[in-house]
Every structure is written in C-alpha cells, then in structure tokens.
Amino acid sequence: MNTAGRLGAYGATLAVVFAGAFASAGALAPAEIAANWTQSAAQGHETAPGGEEMKQATGTGGEHAPHAVQGVTAEQGGYILQEVSAPATTGDQGQLSFTITGPDGQPVTGFEASHEKELHLIVVRSDGAQFRHVHPVMDDAGRWSLPWQWETAGTYRVYTDIVPAATDESLTLTRTVHVAGSFQPAEAKTVSTRDEVAGYDVTLEGNLTAGGTSALSISVTRDGQPATTLEPYLGAYGHLVALRAGDLAYLHVHPEGDNPIEGQTSGPTIEFAVSAPTPGPYYLYFDFQIDGQVHTAAFIVDTSASSGTATDDGAAADGHSGH
C-alpha cells in the first residue's frame, strides 16, 4: 500500500479521534448511540446514529468503501491492544508500553509502514488536552515502548494506528489509562480556530458540515508573514487528527494536493477534506514541521458554526505539543 493510498492509519485517512468523555464541554453522546457505534465497529461497518451505512467521500467527489468506526474498542478483526503499562502518577518517569496480539493470541511483530512508521501512537486526555503523537519502538518479542512521563492527571485515551502485514488493512485500537495527581480541566470552549505555537500563528478556515465532506484549510504565519518552509513530515506537509466530542472515535481526514517531494518545502496553507458524520463539536490537531522541529496546533470546531468566522482565539486544549 503506497503513501497516497494509505491515509487511513495516519495521513490520507488520518485518524481523527472523536472526543469521548468531553465533560469539560458538557457534551456526551447518548449511551444507545455509543453502543451502536461500538457494535458497528465489531461488525466492520460504519453506521450513522440512524443505522444507515456511511461512506467516505474524497476531495474530488469520488467515494471510498465504507469504513468501520475506528478508535472505540481495544479489539478489531481479532487484533487486540493488550493492557497498557504506564506511570500511575504525574511526575514519575517510566515507560509507556503495550503489546498487540493477533487472532491467534500471539504478539504481532509484522507491520507495514504507514506514513513512514509501523505504528503511530496518539495519546489525549478525555477533555481534549495533553495531545501527543509519538512513535514507540518494538522489541523482538512484539512489545512496544518509549520513555514516558505524565504532566497532568486525568483519564487518558491511548490509540495505536497500525497496518498488520497479514491483513494490509489499517486498524485503530484504543485503551483508557487513569493517572493520579492534581487535576485541572482544560478551559471549556465552544469554538477555537486560532492557535499560537513556538511563535507561529496557525489559523483554521472553512465550514465543517455534518453528513458530508467539508473543505478546511490551515494557514501558518510568523510575525505576520506567510510561512513557506513547511517541510515533509511522515509523508505529508501537514497532518490533521480530529477528535469528536462524545466518544473519542476516529474520523477520516484527507490531505489535499500532491505528495511532498523530499527537500522541497510548502506553505503557508495546507488543505484538507474532512468528513464529519454527526453534528456537534470536534477537536482538531494539526502537525507541521519547520526547521526539523514538529509543532502541533489545536482547534475546536462545531458543525453548527462557521469555523472561518469564529472569534475565539487560543488553543483548543493546553499541552498539545510533544513529538
């Protein structure tokens, strides 16, 4: 599977995490809807709350085959994200580690690279704060790990985006981790379409519409000047991860334009085609690289509001950098 064909594990079908316990914003999906999503994931179908199968539309008007709801269960297709080991409290230095087992119950060691990595690990607190996108290392026994320390307490969702070599299909598996310590919820915001990170001003424009594919653009400037030095990062000039308030399930996002050429830069604007299945707020996290440094800008958009005309400034959630 080539880079353009696999924006599903992270990229061309970049996973977008539909926000689960979005308590700080007071938005929770009804239990029966969440149950339907979970059931559809196990059956390999993506269904809307009304039960009608949904299809992902591309930015050029074509259609993808229906996708199962991703990022809502620890198991999919017989592959299981086993219990995640991590420091139990804030401030403790340790390891975050886990194993993925296959249908035979044995640890999986064969994965295909998707956007230059065999596994993309996404960690986010249930209120949308403390977003991280990192890449652990697997040992010969199939155990993935990386050094880890929690900055703040809370309940976190841990996601693994993988493409098992045996299936050549992208999967997103998730588990919950509880971290003890002093907890300060992120400031509740309805809409936030601007963020400042490492001196760069990042702005999201476009209208997110439920039930269809929406064109969104993200622009990067510094000191009022367009940033035209966005470097290729993991096979693209920019990546977008979105989390829906309500269940922290994955939404598919499609970067627009040609694949990047090594050594060439782009900017200041990156275009995305985003399919939002249901009305409501979504977290969006935009990764971009300049001068070898990866930055993450965070936003909140709502299908009932124009993201291009919002006046709320600032990041959607604190602590959203960290690669």
> Does the domain at residues 194-302 carry the CATH identifier 2.60.40.10?
yes
The more confident residue out of 202 and 313 is: 202
Compute, in degrees rounded to 10, the torsion defined by CA atoms 293, 153, 98, 253.
Answer: -50
Number of H helices, E strands in the chain: 2, 19
Mean pLDDT confidence for 115-132: 93
The more confident residue out of 230 and 46 is: 230
The more confident residue out of 25 and 174 is: 174
* pLDDT, tens digit, 9 for 90 and up, residues 15-61: 343 333 333 333 333 344 334 433 433 333 333 333 322 333 333 33
DSSP 136: -
* Confidence at residue 211, expressed as pLDDT on a 0 to 100 scale: 82
Listed in sequence order, the DSSP H helices in 30-127 are: 31-43
Task: Return the minimum-mean-pLDDT range out of 18-27, 92-101, 249-258, 302-311.
Answer: 18-27
The more confident residue out of 105 and 60 is: 105
* Confidence at residue 245, expressed as pLDDT on a 0 to 100 scale: 79
What percentage of residues in the chain have a pLDDT greater than 90? 50
Residue 128 has pLDDT above 50, yes or no: yes
Give me the chain's average pLDDT, please: 77
* Confidence at residue 50, expressed as pLDDT on a 0 to 100 scale: 30
Task: Decide whether 4-15+28-179 matches 194-302 in CATH topology.
Answer: yes
Is 191 in contact with 300 (CB distance < 8 Å)? Answer: yes
What separation, in Å, do the N-terminal and C-terminal C-alpha atoms of the chain show?
25
Is 72 in contact with 33 (CB distance < 8 Å)? Answer: no
Q: How confident is the model at residue 2 (pLDDT cuts 50, 70, 90)?
A: very low
Residue 231 contacts by C-beta under 8 Å, 6 or more apart in sequence? 237, 265, 289, 290, 291, 292
Fold of 4-15+28-179: Immunoglobulin-like (2.60.40)
DSSP assignments along 159-223, one per residue:
EEEE-BTTT---EEEEEEEEEBS---PPPP-S-B-EEEETTEEEEEESB--BTEEEEEEEEEEET
| Ranges of each domain in the chain | 4-15+28-179, 194-302
**Continuous segment of H or E residues that includes residue 8:** helix 7-10
Q: Which residues pair with 164 in a beta bridge?
A: 111
